[in-house]
Amino acid sequence: MALIVFLRGVNVGGHRTFRPSILAKELGAFDVVNVGAAGTFLVRKPVSRAKLRAALLRKLPFEAHVVLCDGRDLVRLVRENPFGSKASRPDVVRFVSIVSKAGRLRAAIPVAFPPEGKWFVRVIGSKDRFAFGEYRRHMKTIGYLGRIDTLFGAPATTRNWNTILGIVRLLNSHQPSGISRQRRPASP
| Predicted local distance difference test score (pLDDT) of residue 35 | 93
Residues of the chain with pLDDT under 50: 177-188
| Predicted local distance difference test score (pLDDT) of residue 170 | 94
| Predicted local distance difference test score (pLDDT) of residue 51 | 96
| Predicted local distance difference test score (pLDDT) of residue 177 | 39
| Predicted local distance difference test score (pLDDT) of residue 128 | 87
| Predicted local distance difference test score (pLDDT) of residue 175 | 61
Q: At what angle do helices 161-173 and 71-80 cross, to 10 degrees?
A: 120
> Whole-model pTM?
0.85
| Predicted local distance difference test score (pLDDT) of residue 179 | 35
Amino acid occupying residue 102:
A
* 2, containing H or E segment: none
37: exposed, middle or buried (Cβ count in 10 Å: 0-12, 13-18, 19+): middle
The string of pLDDT tens digits covering residues 97-123 is 999 887 677 778 899 999 999 999 999
| Predicted local distance difference test score (pLDDT) of residue 187 | 39
CA terminus-to-terminus distance, the chain: 30
